[in-house]
Amino acid sequence: DIQMTQSPSSVSASVGDRVTITCRASQGINDYLAWYQQKPGEAPKLLIYSASSLQSGVPFRFSGSKSGTEFTLTISGLQPEDVATYYCQKYNSAPFTFGPGTRVDVK
């Protein structure tokens, strides 16, 4: 099975900073990669699909990109409401594995 890794496991940044989270697949998954945001006590929320397509209603400060088997979620201008754990997920073929998550805090 394809393994998904994320780095860093946690990041603390100031309001307005640019935050970058990386997700790597152990094999090629084309563009079948989604990003989710989960705030404490809430269900996850879809942010990005097809590696770089922004889900409707998601703020434009969130963006996704792909380079080979490496995927990046960027928050351009961190806001206090962005405090959450972020997960990538592959969905090219089963199992639809999630990455281990990256916790984002505000300094």
Partner 1 sequence: QLVESGGGLVPPGGSLRLSCAASGFSLSTHNINWVRQAPGRGLDWISYINSGSNAIYYADSVKGRFTISRDNARNSVSLQMNNLRTEDTALYYCAGTVGSRTLLYWGRGTQVTVSS
Q: Which residues bind partner 1 (CB under 8 A)?
A: 1, 32, 34, 36, 38, 43-46, 49, 55, 85, 87, 89, 91, 94-101
Tell me how far, at minimum, the Cβ of 45 lies from partner 1, in Å. 8
Question: Nearer to partner 1 by C-beta: 18 or 93?
Answer: 93
Cβ atoms of 103 and 19 closer than 8 Å: no
Task: Name the residue among 4, 27, 1 with its Cα closest to residue 73.
Answer: 4
Question: Nearer to partner 1 by C-beta: 49 or 71?
Answer: 49
Cβ atoms of 21 and 86 closer than 8 Å: yes
Question: Nearer to partner 1 by C-beta: 34 or 78?
Answer: 34
Tell me how far, at minimum, the Cβ of 12 lies from partner 1, in Å. 19
Tell me how far, at minimum, the Cβ of 81 lies from partner 1, in Å. 18
Question: Nearer to partner 1 by C-beta: 18 or 23?
Answer: 23
Beta strand extents in the chain (DSSP E only): 4-7, 10-13, 18-25, 33-38, 45-49, 53-54, 62-67, 70-76, 84-90, 102-106
